[in-house]
Structure 1
Amino acid sequence: MHDVFSDDGPVRLFFHDDDETPLEFMRNLLRTVFGKSRKEAIAVTARIEAQNGFACGPYPATVAKALLESAQQLIRSNGHPLLITASAADAARPCDLCGALEPVTDVFLIRRTVCLCGNCLISARASSENLPSEEFRYAFMALDWHFAGTPRNQIMTRSRQFPGHMRADVQIAIDRLFDAPIHFFGIHEQHRYETLAIASLMENSRNAPPIAPPQYHDVDVGEPESVKCLTNGLWLCQTEELRYAVLLSYHRDYQTEPGLRIELAVPAGAAGNALMQRTFAELEAAVHAARSYRGKILSLEDGANYHGRSRGLTVHRLPTVARDVVILPERTLRLLDRNVLDFVESRDLLRKLGQSTRKGILLYGPPGTGKTHTIRYLATNLPNHTTLIITAEQVGLLGAYMSLARLLQPTVVVIEDVDLIARDREDVGGPCEESLLNKLLNEMDGLKEDCDILFVLTTNRPEELEGALAGRPGRIDQAIEVPLPDEAGRGKLIRLYGRGLPLEPPVIDAAVQRTAGVSAAFIKELMRRIAQASIARGGGQDVTAEDIDGALNEMLFDGGRLNVKLLGGAQGMSAG
């Protein structure tokens, strides 16, 4: 065999009849490897049966060797005994496959350049559709079959990039758009620090990216089932007029959230350009419609710095907070309802009347009064709203959060402890932090009047914000105080946090009178200590005034001033 192929002369390939290899397999082999039509394949197999064999060719030696290797690989993988041998021929034909006198183009096929006429070129393209995916070992082989007849310098590519935290929505969109490809492959990434691109997949070298099993990662979207997301993927697709390829990969940057990269490859020209524009438009619309995170409570991961770095989204599963467990003065609750819940219900009518549908709320009050609990009440009672929770440390991610807010409208953007980014320029770190507050206010300024975004800011020190907010009137539409609980509120809190204890009315009244000026957080801890005292004294069967006295003394006096402050005790109280 070595002598036949080393001659560079024409070579014939002879099919031997063995009475064991199924005819259907031989027909498939002739169609997928040798480019025969269905009718031609049936005719050839009939002649193999009738003549105990049949000679195909002649072909140039390089083409014959490539065809023989591909045929033998397919025969071995299917476990058939079919024998094909090669022998020298006397003459070559202009078309390397069928011998037509007017070859039309050079085609790179199975690591070789062959010259094909128009009919054989069509057959070569069609044959790639019938080749089993496992026949392709490397990405460049699959792409060469797919774009047979199109020179590499006549293939154009274009890409779009999506934030990595939108991975689930991008996957859902891709599954919807490219659900019936000719072939689909996973790609083995030898160097994870590099971004896969179509150009690198076409590389035919020792570093050629091999085809590999698709790799998936489960992404939590707050549903019973997570979304199965690809690490990378290559889709070979076709429309009525064109073939194209789609590559999903990650654009990686050190310590920064990887971006999802979608790259399209099409034959150059007006038709290819139109296909690209149409496909990207459909992709972006499908991503927007995926709605994996709409209506949920979210925060960006790993954003504890001011460098805008994040690795994904966290979905918070918070139980619904009923109105009757939000222990605030009734006037405060009514103010919340009017400015948030009722406002949201009126948005459509406000928009028709030409009024703005964006809004800013500031919740302020001492630590431990229930601002976070109030936000949970709002977040779990606003129908179909997405809530984004931003801590002061994450304000560097504000740009990413605002992109999400616009995409996932209607949205509630919560920024907790906003006073931490509003310190004066003279403070240490002031200039940086003040610029972040300005960035927040600029984002609020830049929103369209008809956007459905509600800002809820919280602070323990409203005086830190007065100067900045007074200089930008209209950013906050309503400031709402979340005060220390009054007498009625303290009674409700004692019953709420002591609901498992056998509390008699006189005991509750005594606890209410002894806790004037404390925070809700203080009462929550007080009831735990009363429970401990009741267990130690009588197994938790009853609660006495002595249990209350002991717990209060421990919290307000025995621990000193710092303990009082840490627990949210009454202002001005100290150790006796």
Structure 2
Amino acid sequence: MDEKLGEFLRNFNRAIDLAQAHRDETPGRVRLLDVLTVHLGMSAPDLPILAQDFPVHRFADLDIAVEKISGQDPQARLIGVGGGQQRHHLSLSDLVQQEYGPVSVGQPDFVNLAVGPDSTREVVALGLRLFVYEGSPLAVLQRAANPQYGRNGTDIAVLAPEREAAARFLAAIQEDLRTNSILRGQVVSFAFDPYGQQGAGVTFLHRPSLPPDEVILPDGVLDRVGRHVLGIAANRETLRKHGQHLKRGVLLYGPPGTGKTHTVRHLLSASAGTTAVLLAGSSLHAVGEAARLARAMAPSMVILEDIDLVAEDRNMGHGPQPLLFEVLDALDGLDADADVVFLMTTNRAEALERALVQRPGRVDLAVEIPLPDVGNRVRLLELYAPAGVFSEDALRAAAEQSEGATASFARELVRRAVLAAVDAGEEPGDQHLAAAVRELMGQGEALTRSLLGAGGEDPAGGVSGGPGLLPDGQEPEPEVSVGYSFGWVGQGGTRYVPLPRTT
């Protein structure tokens, strides 16, 4: 049995050698090693290789920088790597040392990457650029991320007769990435799809268009938030001149559906030219990378939706939360004069980690986005209702009958009224709005009201409110009044915390 196995293996290896020899002798095929040796003027296997990794979301920037710098040589060439699927597993060192046999020159691989909400760029996913840089010949292998082949990042590897020339080229790439980017001024969210095609690592979003008159909040609240988020950015040079810090943290808290995300959309709308990184759900784990991107692309904004998901009080009994420390490091890691705002939202302010909300420099401003009063509920219904369909009296009656309703509830109320009219084959009118109010406020829609954020009472039985944002003994600012809320802390019973509330 052993002799037969040995004979089989010898025959198998011989077949591989014959196939490789036949491929190398195929007319028209050029060995990659020969091309590299001729271009570099020296035996390629004897030369040093410098490699560097880059974040996936900077791959399009990397491609632009490499093309621009290599393009300074009018004789620059772009070639590919042959060898079928095997080439995706080989490093530049493998290709040069021929660890897995000779490799021929092939066609470069390309992939389309998004470089904006509505634009793409054809990027070299696997290819070699041959050019002369500052008098020294270089060969640069460029690779995209490809989880299918075990590569979760992007990289370039530089082969050169002079190690110093390769180092200078990599430094020039880094400098270009520091000052230029397709991400600057864009609104992006991090996207991680290990099963997708080679991607940019980010999703480009259209900047919202939301005027202030469509943000229904208590008087003064939107202005206060706007001064801190947009006003500081508009006066950054004057503030720097007077030694004032620009980095800031803003927390919007309140019950679900009251308009926290809507407020964020307005701030994005009013901050054209500012780079914005949105993190929500599973992408919250990228807060460290988002902070580094924000620093490089300032002025910028990092939006952390539902921050309590990763920054819950460690005393709440849910064990350690590694992402909490990522958030704290991100907030602390930026220079004070960096024009970066961390804009956070939460429905459960009382559950936030005290190290996040009570340490100076992490959250400079906390603003409650409360349930709308009757006047604002009328304004919400007027905003969402088709113009001229419902009378002022009907809108006022609907607002008065929906105590504790949210902006989400008002939108759904109007939709229900229109749907009822359509089902009846009638034009929407006051009677349909009144019927929608009775339906949504009825006993059978209790869960729907809860999902829409309607209510006003804390499900745990307390009063909805914010976290302890002021250290013990410190008086609140004049425009802030103090209330109280409570949260269970481990097994220690009830803790009462002073709450800042916007008047």
TM-score grouping bracket, smaller chain normalisation: 0.7 to 0.9
The equivalent residue for 2:441 is 556
Choose from 406, 419, 443 the match for 1:519: 406
1:162 pairs with 2:54: yes
Unaligned runs of 5+ in 1: 1-68, 74-134, 305-309
| Residues 548/239 of structure 1: CA separation in 2 closer, same or farther (3 Å cut) | closer
| Residues 189/524 of structure 1: CA separation in 2 closer, same or farther (3 Å cut) | farther
Higher relative contact order, structure no. (Cα contacts within 8 Å, ≥ 6 residues apart): 2
**SS where residue 403 of structure 1 aligns?**
helix
Is the 1:137–1:210 contact (alpha carbons within 8 Å) kept by the matching residues of 2? yes
The equivalent residue for 1:543 is 429
**SS where residue 202 of structure 1 aligns?**
helix
The equivalent residue for 1:290 is 180
**CA deviation profile, 1:32-73 (whole Å, cap 9, x unmatched):** xxxxxxxxxxxxxxxxxxxxxxxxxxxxxxxxxxxxx99x96
CA distance in 2, matches of 1:139, 1:331: 68
Superposed, 1:136-147 pairs within 5 Å as 137-147=30-40
CA distance in 2, matches of 1:282, 1:456: 34
Q: Following TM superposition, by how much is the alpha carbon of 1:274 offset from its aligned partner in structure 2, in angstroms?
A: 3.0
Is the 1:222–1:315 contact (alpha carbons within 8 Å) kept by the matching residues of 2? yes
**SS where residue 152 of structure 2 aligns?**
strand
CA distance in 1, matches of 2:323, 2:84: 40
| Residues 223/316 of structure 1: CA separation in 2 closer, same or farther (3 Å cut) | closer
Is the 1:195–1:251 contact (alpha carbons within 8 Å) kept by the matching residues of 2? no
| Residues 204/566 of structure 1: CA separation in 2 closer, same or farther (3 Å cut) | closer
Q: Following TM superposition, by how much is the alpha carbon of 1:572 offset from its aligned partner in structure 2, in angstroms?
A: 6.6
The equivalent residue for 1:39 is none
The equivalent residue for 1:242 is 136
The equivalent residue for 1:279 is 169
Unaligned runs of 5+ in 2: 1-23, 459-503
Q: Following TM superposition, by how much is the alpha carbon of 1:427 offset from its aligned partner in structure 2, in angstroms?
A: 5.0
CA distance in 2, matches of 1:381, 1:358: 19
1:200 pairs with 2:89: no
Tell me how large the CA RMSD over aligned residues is.
2.9
Q: Following TM superposition, by how much is the alpha carbon of 1:373 offset from its aligned partner in structure 2, in angstroms?
A: 1.1
**CA deviation profile, 1:110-147 (whole Å, cap 9, x unmatched):** xxxxxxxxxxxxxxxxxxxxxxxxx6623112112223
Letter in 2 for 1:511: A
CA distance in 2, matches of 1:370, 1:256: 43
**CA deviation profile, 1:511-555 (whole Å, cap 9, x unmatched):** 222223210000000000011122234522x412x3233212221
The equivalent residue for 2:191 is 301
Is the 2:188–2:204 contact (alpha carbons within 8 Å) kept by the matching residues of 1? yes
The equivalent residue for 1:172 is 64
CA distance in 2, matches of 1:509, 1:206: 78
Is the 1:327–1:493 contact (alpha carbons within 8 Å) kept by the matching residues of 2? yes
Q: Following TM superposition, by how much is the alpha carbon of 1:195 offset from its aligned partner in structure 2, in angstroms?
A: 4.8
**CA deviation profile, 1:399-446 (whole Å, cap 9, x unmatched):** 222221222211101111111223344656431x2x322331222112
**SS where residue 502 of structure 1 aligns?**
coil
Is the 1:294–1:385 contact (alpha carbons within 8 Å) kept by the matching residues of 2? yes
The equivalent residue for 1:22 is none
CA distance in 2, matches of 1:478, 1:140: 61
**CA deviation profile, 1:87-129 (whole Å, cap 9, x unmatched):** xxxxxxxxxxxxxxxxxxxxxxxxxxxxxxxxxxxxxxxxxxx
The equivalent residue for 2:81 is 187
Choose from 209, 217, 229 the match for 2:103: 209
**SS where residue 232 of structure 1 aligns?**
strand
| Residues 174/336 of structure 1: CA separation in 2 closer, same or farther (3 Å cut) | same
**CA deviation profile, 1:549-571 (whole Å, cap 9, x unmatched):** 32122212142532331232234
The equivalent residue for 2:43 is 151
Is the 2:45–2:97 contact (alpha carbons within 8 Å) kept by the matching residues of 1? no
Is the 1:519–1:569 contact (alpha carbons within 8 Å) kept by the matching residues of 2? yes
CA distance in 2, matches of 1:178, 1:329: 57
**How many residues of Structure 1 are paired with residues of Structure 2 in the alignment?**
429
Is the 1:392–1:415 contact (alpha carbons within 8 Å) kept by the matching residues of 2? no
Letter in 2 for 1:385: T
Letter in 2 for 1:299: S
| Residues 255/388 of structure 1: CA separation in 2 closer, same or farther (3 Å cut) | farther
Q: Following TM superposition, by how much is the alpha carbon of 1:501 offset from its aligned partner in structure 2, in angstroms?
A: 5.9
CA distance in 1, matches of 2:202, 2:126: 20
Say which is worse superposed, 170-179 or 491-500, in terms of deviation. Answer: 491-500
Is the 1:171–1:229 contact (alpha carbons within 8 Å) kept by the matching residues of 2? yes
Identity across aligned pairs (percent)? 31
| Residues 205/572 of structure 1: CA separation in 2 closer, same or farther (3 Å cut) | closer
The equivalent residue for 2:391 is 504
Q: Following TM superposition, by how much is the alpha carbon of 1:181 offset from its aligned partner in structure 2, in angstroms?
A: 4.0
Is the 2:115–2:121 contact (alpha carbons within 8 Å) kept by the matching residues of 1? yes
Is the 2:311–2:356 contact (alpha carbons within 8 Å) kept by the matching residues of 1? no
| Residues 255/298 of structure 1: CA separation in 2 closer, same or farther (3 Å cut) | farther
Is the 1:389–1:414 contact (alpha carbons within 8 Å) kept by the matching residues of 2? yes
| Residues 255/554 of structure 1: CA separation in 2 closer, same or farther (3 Å cut) | farther
**CA deviation profile, 1:474-533 (whole Å, cap 9, x unmatched):** 310000111112233222211111125612222222222222321000000000001112
Larger Rg: 1
Is the 2:89–2:149 contact (alpha carbons within 8 Å) kept by the matching residues of 1? no
1:230 pairs with 2:124: yes
Is the 1:501–1:543 contact (alpha carbons within 8 Å) kept by the matching residues of 2? no
TM, length-normalised to structure 2: 0.78
The equivalent residue for 1:365 is 254
